[in-house]
Amino acid sequence: MKLSSPVHQLKRQAKLNARATGIPLHLALDELAQKEGYSSWSHLSASGSRATRAQQFLRQLDAGDLVLIAARPGQGKTLFGLELAIQANNAGQESHFFTLEYTPADVLKRVSQLGYNPTAKDTAFQLDCSDDICASYIVSKLRSARPNTLVIIDYLQLLDQKRQNPELDTQLVELREFAQTSGVIIALISQVQRDFDLSMKALPDLADVRLPNPIDLTSFTRTCFLHNGEIAF
């Protein structure tokens, strides 16, 4: 969501409004944030930081990239994936979000955590929550997608949960080949192993990706790891 002015200018405006009206500063900040389309000032400022990082990551991506976004539960990997989809759409790119984890209502709730206030018909990306999601399903839905279309898949370890679906590594090969031939950018959200929490590392890496079934991690051309508010591209 594009702000009418930079955050520091909005904060100054809120301070002036608070002085002029005599209301507490935190109420003036929230009131201004709501005018910008956010539920509160904390949502606006947090979304600004996340949006900036999403924009930075998007600028690094090239047509045909296969991207891994990985973190432990509760570290914001799904929110980051949603922010990427929204920012790509705002930048004029087509974007899609496929999820086997959440319902449409769940996704809209998560989007609201970013400070956006969408309706089911108003999301800034194409949302698909079908139980049939797998590599071949995704490829079939994207046959007419333009190069640089951004696709977020939530999440990697669920793609082969149905017995009739191919093995995870086979699906990854299909997604990689489709990305390379179509120019679509595909990003898969991934879990990280529990024992990372016992390690001394600040951020997980490829060695920490949870692999209930083996896959070739060298298929990924870009990676993004998150933990405790830190992010590494």
Query: pLDDT tens for residues 140-156?
Result: 999 999 999 999 999 99
If 0-12 CB within 10 Å is exposed, 13-18 middle and 19+ buried, where does residue 24 land? exposed
Residue 106 has phi, psi (to 5 degrees) of: -60, -45
Contact status, residue 99 vs residue 150, Cβ threshold 8 Å: no
| 3-state secondary structure (DSSP) of residue 127 | strand
Sheet holding 150-154, edge to edge: 126-128, 95-99, 150-154, 185-191, 66-71, 222-227, 230-232
Task: Give CA–CA dist 191/83, Å, rounded.
Answer: 18
Question: What is the arithmetic mean of pLDDT over 42-67?
Answer: 85
> Which of 5-9, 88-92, 191-195 is the most confident on average?
191-195
Q: What is the mean pLDDT of residues 111-121?
A: 71
- The CATH code belonging to domain 57-232 is 3.40.50.300
Task: Give the residue-averaged pLDDT of 185-197.
Answer: 96
Proportion of the chain in helix, strand, coil states, percent, rounded to 5: 45, 15, 40
Where are the chain's structural domains? 7-36, 57-232
Confidence (pTM): 0.81
Band of residue 40 on the pLDDT scale cut at 50, 70, 90: confident
Is the pLDDT confidence value at 38 over 90? no
CB atoms under 10 Å from CB of 3, counted, come to 16
